[in-house]
Amino acid sequence: MLRKTYDWVMRQAGSRHAPTTLFAVSFAESSFFPIPPDVMLAPMVVARPDRAYVLAGICTLASVLGGILGYAIGYFLEPVGHWLLALMGHANGDAAFRAWFEQWGLMVILIKGLTPIPYKLVTIASGLAHFSFFTFVWASVVTRGARFFLTATLLKYYGPKVQEEFEKRMTLYTGLLLGLIVIAVIALKVLG
């Protein structure tokens, strides 16, 4: 099954609709969708290294716009924001997120925007905490841009080697990634 999914993603990465799909996934992931855009960005850059920075730009723009939607959900639709946080395992996380923003403010966005921790948590929590919208937007541009452009740069220059290695040990790397996600979720629950 893993191989079929991988092959499907690689086919999509080379299709003419790939940038539109990347935009949609990046936008949705920042506010409500569970799959990170890296899943589409990586194979797209490997398939088209000449477009690496265009793809990273699409990913960044869509992610920031989706983040603005997440912020708006938290700010204007608090019940929906609380419901989405509960779906992500943070039913009582509102107080913890507010405390994080009061104590660390901008650092919450700068650190979490670069990590694989679901960015939608940051966007919705920023709105719920009524964090400065201007600061939220510029910090999102910086962190999401850094993440996606770094990914694109590494894959542009080392993509074929990375792809070959990944294909050889796909199960191992997928297991490691899932393990990291589980550790991140546990850490969020402990901190939240």
Domain extent for 75: 2-191
Contact 119, 63 (CB under 8 A): yes
Helix axes 52-76, 78-87, angle to 10 degrees: 120
pLDDT for 75 beyond 90: yes
pLDDT in tens, 125-148: 889 889 899 999 999 999 999 989
Q: Compute the distance between CA of residue 175 and CA of residue 13 in angstroms, rounded to an integer.
A: 23
Number of domains in the chain: 1
- CA distances (Å), origin 78, targets 15, 69, 75, 90, 174: 39, 13, 6, 14, 35
Confidence at residue 29, expressed as pLDDT on a 0 to 100 scale = 86
Question: If you search the block for the tokens 């770094």, which residue do you land on?
Answer: 150
Its pTM stands at 0.76
For residues 97 and 125, the answer to whether their CB atoms sit within 8 Å is yes
